[in-house]
A and B are shown apart, each in its own frame.
Chain A
């Protein structure tokens, strides 16, 4: 019941001490984790967006410049001039001076006839009327092709512009080395996995993708990418390889190319992983600390509580015992008085009978006989039993009575050994060793020497009895000691290694007539008288005992 009460209390305190700090602790960790994650993600996305915007502008301006170059040429020269091979070659040289991207230049009439060409191949005279690019340029006015690998295995793109000259239209076409703008894209590096590439409308690579993807191959992850949109789109998508990527995409202005910048999500959150380890470590250490402190504090609180409860209980028991003994004391006094009156009468009657008998004998009216001897013996017996009763009532009165004790200052260092001398021979017969635990400079106590002697002799006799009971006549030990126990009190103890007292008996030890000795071997008044005597001196007695181990009696006395 008591144990349950403590363990329930322990659980409550522990729960409180752990839950209260752990809840905010967990909340802080979660909130921190959430904000850190989202700021990391939004930071990365902002970076991707910036990269994608910058590179779109770079590519667009590259392409715009090349188109402008062509337009400039178309505006500057007449069809008739450019159709001449020498003029065209001159123009090409000039163009190459401006940008090394140009690898060839050709002029076409409205019917798609390749009139003049400057470049590595002999393409002059061929008819392109039916080709897709030619039709597209006539329709749109400007045309830029997807990237392809030329004969030289260099990524190329063709661009063409239409020039209206009066009723006539003609086309100026150039091939540009795509590696120039490919490089702009390919050199984008964001961390380890961050990369950029360009896809055409069909999702074919226009630049090499570092993580795998050759020119003109279809992008394996193209499905979510090709959505048509304005500006920059950012999203998270799982690639065909299974890794998650953060994407930023943008369509080039009026072109059919999509610029893609992506970075592996795992890499972005690499930093988070370290932070997570740190947070988990902190959480573990913090949690452990909280739990340890909670356990320690709870243990201390429960310990204090138990001590206080035990002290309270002991105090309660002492009070009960003291109260009961006081009650018994009063009762004993009345009882002794009531018994003493009849005893007095019996005694008087016996004396009268004695006197009368001897008178009768003197007068010769009584003859000596065996019967008479028996009567006289009986009378003697009655007399001795009356005396015995008288002894018991005297003992009771000693326990109960407020006696005038002649207290004086007493030096225990000399007093205790003197007292022990009285029982020394008895103890040595039983093979008992007597030890002292006294210290120099011990203060004197206020006590009546005769009474204190009576108490200590009584305790020593009890100790001898208990030792003989336990050990026979070998191995007994008695320790007699004294020390200062508080500012105004000295405690004397008599400790034996005898048979000990059971807990039930320990409660009744100071009660009059309580005895464990066989009938006729003790009145059960000894300890109650001791108790009365010590109380009279302004002290009190205590006992500690374990069955089979030994008993210690403590006498607390005021300092002199």
Chain B
């Protein structure tokens, strides 16, 4: 199984624990968060590659959380999980940069598959970024120094 860390965000505690167990059994590294705020905190403190995010949550809702994640961590891929009539909110999510959406009740396998795809996309993106950096590195080594100073 690919080597990436996944975060589940949902207000249903039991869903989080069970799904975490299942995903762990499939060899995935899973972190959970029960709210949008918690998710943002965890993103801040750990390296997380893909987020599965429930659309409807008390407090900060899914779409707002998504926008925050994309603003603060643009490289993190987000999959929206919707149990709602509101495909609009899923569409809103897609427009705000979500990778895809999954309808509840979803199969674990579906979730895993979508998470894989998301991760692969991220990998490709990171690869492109590395290539671009490498080119600029060749062009001007000074830039790399500059960048590492900034980073």
Contact = CB atoms under 8 A, between A and B. Distances in A.
Given A345-B18, A349-B18, A336 B107 contact: no
A532 B79 CA distance: 28
Contact of A340 (B14, B83, B87, B88): B83
B91 A404 contact: yes
A93 interface: no
Contacts of B124: none
Contacts of A346: 105
A349 B103 CA distance: 17
Given A351-B107, A355-B22, A386-B105, A344 B87 contact: no
Interface string B103-131: 11111100000000000000000000000
Assign chain B's interface to a size class. Answer: 20 to 34
Given A344-B83, A397-B85, A351 B22 contact: yes
Given A348-B15, A351-B107, A402 B21 contact: no
Given A340-B104, A386-B105, A404-B91, A348 B18 contact: yes
A353 to B, nearest CB: 10
B84 interface: yes
Contacts of A390: 105
Contacts of B19: 348
B139 interface: no
A106 to B, nearest CB: 145
A379 interface: no
A401 interface: yes
Contacts of B22: 348, 351-352, 355
Given A352-B21, A355-B25, A343 B84 contact: no
B104 A343 contact: yes
Contacts of B25: 355, 359
Interface residues of A, number: 28
A20 to B, nearest CB: 63
B133 interface: no
B105 A333 contact: no
B86 interface: yes
B38 interface: no
A355 B91 CA distance: 33
A341 interface: yes
Contact of B12 (A334, A337, A344): A344
B56 interface: yes
Interface in B87-106: 87-88, 91, 103-106
Interface in B53-91: 56, 83-88, 91
Interface string A323-347: 0000000001110110011011111
Contacts of A352: 18, 21-22
30 contacts: A332-B85, A333-B84, A333-B85, A334-B85, A336-B83, A336-B84, A336-B85, A337-B83, A340-B83, A340-B104, A340-B105, A341-B104, A343-B104, A343-B105, A344-B105, A344-B106, A346-B105, A347-B105, A347-B106, A349-B14, A351-B107, A351-B108, A352-B18, A355-B22, A386-B105, A390-B105, A397-B85, A401-B85, A402-B87, A402-B88
Question: What are the 7 A-B residue pairs with the smallest beta carbon separation, nearest first?
Answer: A333-B85, A340-B83, A343-B105, A344-B105, A340-B104, A348-B18, A347-B105
